[in-house]
């Protein structure tokens, strides 16, 4: 099969992914083989490729927002029929026995594996995954629309949950990429007022089109004090600015897996019971709940499509803020 291999971490400007011919993986016990139709491109893929996340497997096939069709079942697999349309996301497997798994926090599992990082992902024609960690994809979404829901969508949704935002509340977004693109639609559905802070003028315009009450530069103070804010951009210097925008006891959620160092700031910004918390991965329940609400709203993604052979170009565009909405690799029929 064709696959984009990362043989060694490197800056994306050097186009380190190599389109290669590799063996089709075979599904083991409890696994399914998925023929990939589309794979979303996520900022975490950039962190894997550029080595900001320590390498777990080399070479590795990145990609963790995979939509495709079940083509083959491993021993004992019976959850999906051959031909079922499914999604494979970041959380590839958890041990089910550690203290976090036992108390329903499998997103924090002590022994997890992650798609496109510690195991091969979906920048390829086929991927294998444990059937228990695979999602059924709601019918209303095309393959290309569904792919970015699997990380941008699910993590945006978990970020909203951790923000504890209530109907009628005021919520800030810092950075307006794919996750914010989805989260604003959920927030508006919940009757939450959204204020979008982002450096890119086109992203400000997109935020307003999607129902933001205000859009401004990253360091411009929103016109109202916020009940909560979510930082989607991986830039630590945003944290003090976002804290300054919160009301007393407001919650600041950091939505990324990697962030540049946070500069020191005055305790006054945190005092009055403001809270900062990160988001780590998601539980399968988050994924199931999000896909249900995504179909109910329904979420509409602006996507930019690239062939599998152009994965480097898609990631360069993502790094340069040149993607509106989400970048998606169209895999089936490529090459
Ligand atoms: Zn565990
Ligand atoms: Zn992701």
| Tens-place pLDDT, residues 24-34 | 999 999 999 99
Domains of the chain, start order:
2-148+302-330 (3.90.180.10), 153-278 (3.40.50.720)
Ligand nearest to the CA of 122: 2
Task: Write the CB contacts of 289 (distance below 8 Å, at least 6 apart in sequence).
Answer: 157
CB-based contacts of 190, cutoff 8 Å, min separation 6: 165, 167
308 CA to centre of ligand 2 in angstroms: 17
> How much distance in Å is there from the Cα of 257 to the middle of ligand 1?
18
Question: Minimum-distance ligand to the CA of 44?
Answer: 2
Assign 325 a pLDDT band (cuts: 50, 70, 90).
confident
Q: Note the ligand closest to the C-alpha atom of 107.
A: 1
* Ligand 2 centroid to residue 25 C-alpha, Å: 22
Closest ligand to the CA of 232:
2
CA of 105 relative to ligand 1 center, distance in Å: 8
Measured CA to CA, the distance from residue 176 to residue 217 in angstroms comes to: 11
Report pLDDT for 81: 98
Condensed to tens digits (0 to 9), the pLDDT of residues 258-293 reads 999 999 999 999 999 999 999 999 999 999 999 999
Pairing of strands 2-6, 17-21: antiparallel
Q: Which residues lie closer than 8 Å to 39 by C-beta, 6 or more apart?
A: 63, 65, 66, 67, 121, 122, 123, 147, 308, 328, 329, 331
263 token code pair? 């500069």
Q: What are phi and psi of 48, to 5 degrees?
A: -65, -50
- How close is the Cα of 145 to the center of ligand 1, in Å? 31
In the chain, % of residues over pLDDT 90: 96
Q: What is the pLDDT of residue 125?
A: 98
- Mind giving me the DSSP string for 161-183? HHHT--TT-EEEEES-SHHHHHH
How high does pLDDT run on average in the chain?
96
Residue 335 reports pLDDT greater than 60: no
From ligand 2's centre to the CA of 155, what distance in Å? Answer: 8
Range 209-216 average pLDDT:
97
Question: How would residue 63 be classed by pLDDT, with cut points 50, 70 and 90?
Answer: very high
C-alpha gyration radius of the chain: 19
The C-alpha angle 259, 42, 56, rounded to 5 degrees, equals 70
3-state secondary structure of 150: helix
Task: Give tens-digit pLDDT for 74-128.
Answer: 999 999 999 999 999 999 999 999 999 999 999 999 999 999 999 999 999 999 9
Ligand number nearest CA of 90 is 2
**How far apart are the CA of 90 and the centre of ligand 2, in A?**
7
pLDDT at 304: 96
Q: What is the pLDDT of residue 243?
A: 98
C-alpha dihedral, 262 to 283 to 73 to 57, nearest 10°: 20
As a whole-number percent, the residues of the chain with pLDDT over 70 amount to: 99
Q: How far is the CA of 267 from the centre of ligand 2 (A)?
A: 32
Asked if pLDDT for residue 333 goes beyond 80, the answer is: no
Say whether 288 sits in a helix, a strand or coil: helix
Check residue 263 and report its DSSP letter: P
pLDDT category of residue 324 using cuts at 50, 70 and 90: confident
Centre of ligand 1 from the C-alpha of residue 130, in Å: 15
Q: Please, which residues have CB within 8 angstroms of residue 196's CB and are 6 or more apart in sequence?
A: 172, 173, 176, 180, 184, 203, 204, 207, 208, 212, 214, 215, 216
Tell me what pLDDT residue 334 has.
42
pLDDT at 321: 87
């Amino acid at each position: 099969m064709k696959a984009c291999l990362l043989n060694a971490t490197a800056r994306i400007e050097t186009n380190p992914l190599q389109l290669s011919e590799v063996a089709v993986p075979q599904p083991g016990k409890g696994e399914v083989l998925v023929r990939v139709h589309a794979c979303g491109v996520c900022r975490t893929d950039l962190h894997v490729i550029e080595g900001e996340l320590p390498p777990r497997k080399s070479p590795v096939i990145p990609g963790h927002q995979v939509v495709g069709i079940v083509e083959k079942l491993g021993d004992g697999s019976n959850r999906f029929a051959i031909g079922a349309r499914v999604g494979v996301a970041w959380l590839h497997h958890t041990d089910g026995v550690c203290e976090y798994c036992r108390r329903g926090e499998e997103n924090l599992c002590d022994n997890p594996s992650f798609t496109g990082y510690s195991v091969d992902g979906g920048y390829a024609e086929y991927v294998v995954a444990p059937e228990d960690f695979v999602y059924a994809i709601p019918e209303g979404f095309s393959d290309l629309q569904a792919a970015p829901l699997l990380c941008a969508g699910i993590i945006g949704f978990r970020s909203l949950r951790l923000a504890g935002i209530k109907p009628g509340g005021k919520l800030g977004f810092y950075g307006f990429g794919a996750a914010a693109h989805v989260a604003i639609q959920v927030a508006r559905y919940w009757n939450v007022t959204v204020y979008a802070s982002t450096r890119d003028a086109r992203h400000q315009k997109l935020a307003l089109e999607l129902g933001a009450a205000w859009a401004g530069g990253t360091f411009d103070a929103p016109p109202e004090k916020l009940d909560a804010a979510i930082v989607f951009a991986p830039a630590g210097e945003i944290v003090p600015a976002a804290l300054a925008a919160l009301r007393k006891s407001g919650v600041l959620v950091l939505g990324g897996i990697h962030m540049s160092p946070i500069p020191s700031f005055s305790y006054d910004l945190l005092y009055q019971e403001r809270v900062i918390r990160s988001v780590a991965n998601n539980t399968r329940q988050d994924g199931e709940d999000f896909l249900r609400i995504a179909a109910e709203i329904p979420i509409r993604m602006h996507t930019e499509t690239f062939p599998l052979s152009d994965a480097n170009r898609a990631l360069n565009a993502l790094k340069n803020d040149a993607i509106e909405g989400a970048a998606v690799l169209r895999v089936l029929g490529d090459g």
